[in-house]
Amino acid sequence: MGRQGKPKKAASKAASKAAGPKAKKTRGRPIDEVAEKKAALAYEREQNRRERDRAKAEAARQKEIERRREAMFKAQKALDEGQEEHAARADALQAELEDLEKRSRAEDGRWEKEKPRLEAALRRARG
């Protein structure tokens, strides 16, 4: 023992050598921190990728909704224009029909006046 009742360093070194080789200290905490940071970055990258994918899918869905809406408006406009054109043609045909019916009645009236005159002329010629 040393002066103040403390064991000598040499003796403690010998005792520790007799106990066997010391296990090497691993840098457990720093490696864990590195792995933790790596895992956190990987998780964040994956979250960002998923968010981008979700945003892209949402944008595609909105684009499809807008495309359908535009197609619906276009089809409705074509239907409305077709309906207006049909109504205009039907009105024109109805006006023509009424004009033809008027002309037909006028022709019938003319014939009713002409027929007796021609029949009388035929009777005189047969005579």
DSSP line for 20-63: -PPPPPP-HHHHHHHHHHHHHHHHHHHHHHHHHHHHHHHHHHHH
Residues 83-114 have pLDDT tens digits of: 999 999 999 999 999 999 999 999 999 999 99
Hey, what amino acid is at 73? F
Residues 54-70 have pLDDT tens digits of: 999 999 999 999 999 99
Hey, what amino acid is at 69? R
In angstroms, the CA 16 to CA 10 distance is 10
